[in-house]
């Protein structure tokens, strides 16, 4: 989703920073993947700044109605804060909130920090693998009387889970909410296709897409 320029730029940026690597990597599902995406490696000020700028652009391009942002602990915490800053710099100032995994037993108690959950809430996360953090986020948002409005992630791997659907499609189906990805596996293939020096990576990723990819 979003415009191709942004997606292609994002893939190039992820490759430059070593966040997206090629080789042979074992996934949680036991598959041998020809690429590995680790958003935890956006770990300095400049790369976090650029990453969350991509998130903000994807949110604005999606035109999703939203009143605030929510970041699931722990990976979603720097992402939601950075995205809120990036959106504010683009003239869209939204409140944000995140959770802590353990309830606090002193002070105000509770597991939520930041603006109170209200209205349509956009969940900001890195990737959706099992959908667990999305489920927990949806439950927290609904428990507060707010409405989950969608999920924004960095990369949609577009690969099947146990059945025919991908983790992203399962989330869309289970909660009836859209998932906006800054970039997808198809964007990765398009990026590789434009670079002759990465031809063997293109072949490997294409083969992986053929074997495990969702039908589009």
The CA–CA distances, whole Å, from 8 to 108, 140, 185 equal: 44, 34, 11
Is 215 among the residues known to form the active site? no
Catalytic residue selected from 28, 101, 106, 215:
106
Straight-line distance from the first to the last Cα atom of the chain, in angstroms, rounded to the nearest whole number: 14
Is 104 among the residues known to form the active site? yes
Q: What letters, b where the CB count within 10 A reaches 16 and e where it falls short, cover 111-137?
A: ebebbebeebbbbbbbbbeebebbeeb
Q: What letters, b where the CB count within 10 A reaches 16 and e where it falls short, cover 85-102?
A: bbbeeeeeebbbbbbeee
Report the catalytic residues: 104, 106
């Amino acid at each position: 989703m979003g415009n191709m320029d942004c997606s292609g730029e994002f893939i190039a940026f992820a490759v430059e920073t070593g966040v997206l690597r090629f080789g042979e990597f074992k996934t949680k599902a036991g598959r041998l993947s020809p690429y590995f995406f680790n958003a935890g490696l956006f770990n300095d000020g400049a790369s976090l700044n650029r990453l969350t700028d991509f998130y903000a652009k994807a949110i604005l391009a999606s035109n999703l109605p939203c009143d605030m942002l929510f970041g699931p602990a722990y990976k979603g915490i720097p992402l939601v804060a950075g995205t809120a800053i990036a959106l504010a710099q683009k003239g869209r100032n939204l409140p944000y909130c995140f959770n802590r995994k353990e309830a606090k037993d002193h002070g105000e108690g509770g597991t939520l920090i930041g603006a109170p959950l209200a209205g349509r809430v956009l969940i900001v996360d890195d990737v959706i693998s099992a959908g667990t953090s999305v489920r927990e986020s949806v439950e927290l948002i609904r428990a507060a009387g707010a409405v989950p409005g969608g999920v924004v992630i960095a990369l949609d791997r577009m690969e099947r889970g146990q059945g025919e659907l991908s983790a992203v499609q399962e989330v869309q189906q289970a909660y009836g909410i859209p998932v906006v990805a800054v970039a997808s596996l198809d964007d990765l293939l398009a990026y590789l296709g434009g670079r002759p020096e990465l031809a063997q990576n293109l072949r490997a990723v294409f083969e992986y897409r053929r074997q495990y990819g969702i039908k589009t």
